[in-house]
Amino acid sequence: MSDLSKITCIEDLRQVAQRRVPRMFYDYADTGSWTACTYRANEADFAPIQFRQRVAINMEGRSLATTMVGEPVSMPVAIAPTGLTGMQHADGEILAARAAREAGVPFTLSTMSICSIEDVAQHAGPGFWFQLYVMRDKAFVESLIDRAKAAGCGALVLTLDLQMLGQRHKDIKNGLSTPPKPTLTNLINLATKPRWCLGMLGTRRRQFGNIVGHVKNVDDMSSLGAWTAQQFDPRLSWDDVAWIKQRWGGKLILKGIMEPVDARLAVNSGADALIVSNHGGRQLDGAPSTIRVLPSIVDAVGRDIEVHIDSGIRSGQDVLKAWALGARGTYIGRSFLYGLGAFGQAGVAKALKIIRNELDISMAFCGHTQLQNVTKDILVPGTYPLPFLD
């Protein structure tokens, strides 16, 4: 299906992206670690949650508007930080940021992006956020924070669950690299992706823009690979969170919370929000889905911190279910990447439009016109997860 007007759901976008994006980069986005059990559960565990339909209620004047960490958003959806976005489509981070700006939702740039903070800042809207990985090179971390400040980023999203890489079998088998190594297998695959190749020929952005040229002795892909392999810091602690919060000085969102005890520590850190996240099932395989643990996190923190969620969101109905269970923000990663890989900026805009439409219509069928008034009362008891019992 290559006609954008015939695309009706995120799955349609995924199928087009699978045809158009080189295998190693499509697999990088569309896979989990080890057996991919958690990756599959993230999406599957939304399905059993059922809505309660209401009738004969005035459905005019609907609004999905809300705020995320105090910033106005057109709906409680943000584009998640995803590494190598600019390898799904040439200049991918820039295109996605433009689409997010037009849709009135935040765009979060990954540390491991292809386009740099400075490049994206020229195209992003007011909801431009930056996601930070903690590296051993603290001077580099400080420079990233300072660059994000200078670029006008409204929030810093600190990822806590990547002190080391989960084993992603497809990436190992595909020999993932940026840009792709010119092996026979890769060249044969690239020959079937002419649209992608032409796009890459037309851009200068083919390396990790936030790193290359900003780290001493890292000026090409070989030196970058050696540096990156040594840099993720397994010593990351809550002391680092305090240091980063002080250095940043702005709104701080902590990503990777899956346990109530860590949620309480996030509250104690003074962060503005936390993201219930298992890294899209790309780190600890065998962990529960995020929607499964969301009620436990909400129960643990009450209103002491804003709770967001990512991983597995493929529709506006998923957004509505998460909102009903207490999330005040959701993030889409693969859903926007499928659109980007399939149709570029227009594909990201289509993904956001699909999610908005599904969220809007489903909310109305549940008897509400204002998202702010929606609670778990719209869900059928017994179909949604409850807080864990310790």
Q: Which residues are annotated as catalytic?
A: 279
- Residue identified by tokens 């439409």 is 357
Write out the E strands in the chain.
Answer: 66-68, 71-73, 77-79, 107-109, 128-132, 155-159, 251-257, 273-276, 306-309, 330-332
Q: CA-CA distance, 162 to 260, in Å (whole number)?
A: 19
In angstroms, how far apart are the furthest CA atoms of the chain?
67
Between helix 345-365 and helix 334-343 the angle, nearest 10°, is 140
Q: Exposed, middle or buried, 232 (CB in 10 Å: 0-12/13-18/19+)? A: middle
Q: Which two tokens stand for residue 287?
A: 């962990």
**Residue 309 DSSP code:** E
Q: Which two tokens stand for residue 27?
A: 């697999």
Q: Are strands 66-68 and 71-73 parallel, antiparallel or unpaired?
A: antiparallel
Bind-site residues: 28, 81-83, 110, 131, 133, 159, 168, 255, 277, 279, 282, 310-314, 333-334
- Residue 189: which region, alpha, beta or left (left: phi > 0; alpha: psi -120 to 50)? alpha
Bind-site residues for FMN: 81-83, 110, 131, 159, 255, 277, 310-314, 333-334
Q: Find residue 51's DSSP bridge partners.
A: 379
Name the helix (H) or strand (E) containing 221.
helix 221-231
**Is-contact 332 313, C-beta < 8 A?**
yes
DSSP string of 231-242, one letter each residue: HB-TT--HHHHH
Q: CA-CA distance, 108 to 130, in Å (whole number)?
A: 5
In degrees rounded to 5, what are phi and psi of residue 331? -130, 135
CB atoms within 10 A of CB 161: 20
Task: Identify the three-state secondary structure at position 108.
Answer: strand
Bind-site residues for glyoxylate: 28, 133, 168, 279, 282
Rounded to the nearest 10°, the torsion over CA 224, 228, 231, 233 is: 160
**Is-contact 16 348, C-beta < 8 A?**
no
